[in-house]
Amino acid sequence: MVLSRRFPVVGKHALRVVVGFAALSLAVTGCGRSTTDQSPQSGGSASAAADAKAADLVPAAIKDKGVLRVATAEGYPPMEMYKEGTQDLIGVDPELAAAIAGRLGLKLEMTNASFPGLIPGLQADRWDLAMSSMSDTEERRKAVDFVDYFRAGGAIMVAKGNPAGVKDLADLCGRAVVLAKGSSNLAIGEKQNASCAKKMTISQSEDAPTGLLQIDAGRAVATIVDYPVAKMLAQQSGKYEVLEAQYDAGPWGIAIDKKDSQLRDAVQRALQELIDSGEYTKILEKWGVQGGAVRSATVNDQK
């Protein structure tokens, strides 16, 4: 079941993979919203990393080991998943983690873990970063800092060719719409419906793929799905279109324990270098989620 912005438990048994930057690059080739709580570190220009190369900012203890330990929770394509038929981690987050490690001059050690265990694992020093489509929220920032690297919200999916001519949320008024039970996308639809003069007919599906079956059968004209998941579903099937507007979009961040401020600054600078070089955009374009790109690397930037 796909719920919004990585609140469900999706991790399976732990898998540790140690690879260099170039090796993982070869391997991968071929959830929630909160109130504003912006820290003093927010914004790329405020960081101590602003005028230094990322590799120069790596804490000595990590530099001596030569390894960057990153945890993720697979099961949220195209952000993190297993390559079909294997337990090789692929997707936006593993590939971007490899690129960050490369900028830091480190090898990447990637661990698959349960989503609820990611922040406790940081606090127990089992890994250095958690990178798993994790929403930057006020509650989580009590324990960790976030280097924000992506923005995602709900996007409207329609049948290929958009036969109903849906342009935006307001166009769903008076129409049959299917939304996943318990998701924030259901809340988006219900909020819009409250303002509709002619109400939607909203049915609820168990998850996004089963909701799309209602579109196939002509029982609904549209659904709302998390943007990156929507893009993957549309790409895989060739049967749907995703409207580019995102609703209730918020930042996803790379989580770093608050005690590791020097590492946070190094990661922020590494991400900014990737943005400036264009490599960041290429990774997002490869997975079809460039619509979630950020313009600069910021810290604790939930707004």
What's the pLDDT at 103? 98
Percent of the chain at pLDDT > 70 equals 83
Chain mean position to CA 141: 17
Q: Is the pLDDT at 30 greater than 50, yes or no?
A: no
Chain mean position to CA 94: 11
Q: Is the pLDDT at 35 greater than 80, yes or no?
A: no
Q: Is the pLDDT at 5 greater than 50, yes or no?
A: no
Q: Where are the beta strands (DSSP E) in 236-279?
A: 240-242, 247-257
Kindly report, residue by residue over 233-283, the tens digit of the pLDDT.
998 899 999 998 999 998 999 999 999 999 999 999 999 999 999 999 999
What's the pLDDT at 19? 40
CA 132/CA 94 separation, integer angstroms: 9
Q: Is the pLDDT at 125 greater than 70, yes or no?
A: yes
Q: β-pairing, 222-226 with 89-90?
A: unpaired
What's the pLDDT at 13? 31
236, two tokens: 């895989």
pTM over 0.85: no
52 falls in which pLDDT band (50, 70, 90)? confident
303 falls in which pLDDT band (50, 70, 90)? low
What's the pLDDT at 42? 42
CA 131/CA 137 separation, integer angstroms: 14
Q: Is the pLDDT at 159 greater than 70, yes or no?
A: yes
3 falls in which pLDDT band (50, 70, 90)? very low
Amino acid identity for residue 225 in this structure: V
24 falls in which pLDDT band (50, 70, 90)? very low
